[in-house]
Amino acid sequence: MNKKRYFGLCSIALAMGLISCGTASQKGNNTSDSSKVAITVSDWGSYEGNPVYLYHLNNGHGTRMAISNYGGTITSWRFPDRNADTSEIIIGFDSLSGYLAHPPYFGALIGRYANRIAKGKFALDGKNYQLAVNDGNNHLHGGIKGFDKVLWQVEVPDSNKTTLILHYTSKDGEEGYPGNLQVTVKYELTDDNQLHIIYDATTDKATPVNLTNHSYFNLSGDLARTILDEQLTIHAPGYSPVEDQIPTGMPVSVVGTPFDFNTATAIGARISQVPGGYDHNWALDTTHGAKEPVATLFDSISGRQLDVYTTQPGLQFYSGNFLDGSITARGHAVIKYDGLALETQHFPDSPNEPKFPNTILRPGEHYHEETTYALSIKR
């Protein structure tokens, strides 16, 4: 059956209260979770008069996730610790209302341009563009209504597999960006507890593109514990010093600085040496392509380990510096350092820095980037 037609039929069934069209019958295979049902779909409210759905993924090997068509948001990500106790490893909400209150991008897909563009300005092919200034003096994460605040069209190619394909068309002029941008994002949860995220895009006019996911991790599974004791490794020779959160030039060496995570280091060990905390771009060691992890996060108490693989040249490590207790997630007031983001990306402000890796997509070209978050238990 045509995939778009399949989704359309599912949508009709959902609207009629028949929410089983995305549900797999139990498979007779040997898994660690005998209750495996690959994908189920539930009604999750409405946004701008349109239905919002939550897609529940269960790989039968320990990982359960929920992803919404609102913002392409990962709302829940559950994985057992070394004692087989399963809990949330990301910050999120159980209801749509939490996301409609515009928290700081919890779990969302980010675009058209992840991270910051200085003063929301860039020039392209002799024309000047002004984007929304929504983060102090700068443009952040696609503007006032970025990809995190739109409804994505979702395909369920096979309800017996834990794969979702999301589509969105960003129209010419949306948030000030040129060109009609066709975006596809594939979420694929594997049997070995890896989440592959594959980003693809094409355009009919030259435009900046930089896509990522903005999940906030706390591998302890307990927001009463901050991420300061978690061990982080980032394989990167350089990082980007910033002024007003904008890179001041080319990346500089991490050697001898609190930005050197080439060996596993507790996040809190040197954070006091970084005014405001970590919110910087690391220029990754990409000599191995996407075959070796660019970053590893480890929580010694739970035993959970997260390895990050990517084709992207940069990684934004954000230590949750601006979480101030004003947001309550699953009964917990989220405070500073309760979660961290590892956002694979191109460098901030690249449209204004010709020496940075290119972020301009042109007609006839194909944007393609991949990121994998791999979970495991370290005994």
Cβ neighbours, 10 Å, residue 361: 21
Angle value at C-alpha 108, between 107 and 114, nearest 5 degrees: 120
Q: Where are the alpha helices (DSSP H) in 248-374?
A: none
What is the three-class DSSP state of 306? strand
In angstroms, the CA 126 to CA 213 distance is 31
Which residue type sits at 107?
G
Please classify residue 133 by burial: count the beta carbons closer than 10 Å to its beta carbon, then call 0-12 exposed, 13-18 middle and 19+ buried.
Answer: middle
Helix and strand counts by DSSP (H, E) for the chain? 2, 31
Active-site residue, 343 included: yes
CA 43 to chain centre: 23
Selecting among 88, 230, 343, 353, the annotated active-site residue is: 343
Active-site residue, 353 included: no
Rg (CA), the chain: 20
In angstroms, the CA 129 to CA 166 distance is 28
Selecting among 139, 214, 280, 346, the annotated active-site residue is: 214
Judge whether 284 and 294 are in contact, CB under 8 Å. yes
Which residue type sits at 375?
L
What is the three-class DSSP state of 352? helix
In angstroms, the CA 335 to CA 16 distance is 41
Q: What is the sign, positive or negative, of the torsion defined by CA atoms of 293, 193, 315, 364?
A: positive
* Among 46, 34, 42, 54, residue whose Cα is nearest residue 17: 42
Catalytic residues: 214, 343
